[in-house]
Structure 1
Amino acid sequence: MTDSAPAPLRSMPDDWRRALAVVAHPDDLEYGCSAAVASWVADGKDVAYLLATRGEAGIDTLDPGRAGPLREAEQRAAAAAVGVRAVEFLDHRDGVIEYGASLRRDIAAAVRRHRPELVITLNHRDTWAAGAWNTPDHVAVGRAVLDAAADAGNRWIFPELAEQGLVPWNGVRWVAVANSPTPSHAVSAEPGFEQGVRSLLRHRTYLEALTAEDPETYARRFLGESTGVHRARFDGAPAVAFELFSR
Structure 2
Amino acid sequence: MLVSAAHPDDVDFGAAGTIARWTAAGVKVTYCIMTDGDAGGFEESHRAGITAMRAREQAPAAGLVGVDGVRFLGQRDGYLEASHEVIKQVVALIRQVRPEVVMAMHPERGWDRIQKSHPDHLACGEAVTRAVYPAVENPYAYPELAEAGLAAYKVPYLWFYGGPRERDNHFVDVTDQVDAKLAAIRTHASQHPDLAAMDARVRQSLLENAARCGLDEGRSAEAFHVVGVNTPDTFAGF
Q: Which amino acid aligns with 1:111?
A: I
For the 8 Å contact 1:200–1:219, the answer to whether it is kept is no
* Whole-angstrom CA distance in 1 between matches of 2:201 and 2:16: 13
* Whole-angstrom CA distance in 2 between matches of 1:133 and 1:23: 12
For the pair 1:110 / 2:93, whether they are aligned, the reply is: yes
Q: Secondary structure at the residue paired with 2:175? A: coil
Q: Write out per-residue CA displacement over residues 94-117 of structure 1, whole angstroms, 9 at most, x where no aligned residue.
A: 101122211111101110011001
For the 8 Å contact 2:170–2:224, the answer to whether it is kept is yes
Computed over aligned residues only, the root mean square deviation of the Cα atoms, in angstroms, reads 1.6
- Superposition pairs for residues 213-224 of structure 1, below 5 Å? 213=194, 215=195, 217-224=196-203
* Whole-angstrom CA distance in 2 between matches of 1:81 and 1:153: 33
For the pair 1:231 / 2:210, whether they are aligned, the reply is: yes
Q: Which residue of 2 aligns with 1:178?
A: 161
Q: Write out per-residue CA displacement over residues 19-49 of structure 1, whole angstroms, 9 at most, x where no aligned residue.
A: 1001110010111110111001001111110
Q: Which amino acid aligns with 1:54?
A: D
Q: Which amino acid aligns with 1:42?
A: A
For the pair 1:55 / 2:40, whether they are aligned, the reply is: no
Normalising by the residue count of structure 2, what TM-score does the alignment of the two structures yield?
0.88
- Superposition pairs for residues 96-135 of structure 1, below 5 Å? 96-130=79-113, 134-135=117-118
- Superposition pairs for residues 158-197 of structure 1, below 5 Å? 158-170=142-154, 172-181=155-164, 182-197=167-182
Give the paired residue count: 222
For the pair 1:200 / 2:178, whether they are aligned, the reply is: no
Q: Which residue of 2 aligns with 1:157?
A: 141
For the 8 Å contact 2:171–2:221, the answer to whether it is kept is yes
* Whole-angstrom CA distance in 2 between matches of 1:48 and 1:184: 24
* Whole-angstrom CA distance in 2 between matches of 1:123 and 1:138: 7
Query: Structure 1 residues 62 and 104, CA, compared in 2 at 3 Å: closer, same or farther?
Result: farther
Q: Once structures 1 and 2 are overlaid, which stretch shifts more, 147-156 or 229-238?
A: 229-238
Normalising by the residue count of structure 1, what TM-score does the alignment of the two structures yield?
0.85
Q: Which amino acid aligns with 1:99?
A: A
- Superposition pairs for residues 6-25 of structure 1, below 5 Å? 19-25=1-7
Query: Structure 1 residues 59 and 23, CA, compared in 2 at 3 Å: closer, same or farther?
Result: same
For the 8 Å contact 2:163–2:225, the answer to whether it is kept is yes
Query: Structure 1 residues 62 and 157, CA, compared in 2 at 3 Å: closer, same or farther?
Result: farther
In structure 2, runs of 5+ residues without a counterpart are 230-238
Q: Once structures 1 and 2 are overlaid, which stretch shifts more, 226-235 or 95-104?
A: 226-235
Query: Structure 1 residues 33 and 228, CA, compared in 2 at 3 Å: closer, same or farther?
Result: same
Pairwise CA distance, 1:123: 2.4
Q: Secondary structure at the residue paired with 1:90? A: strand
For the 8 Å contact 1:24–1:138, the answer to whether it is kept is yes
- Higher fraction of helix: 2
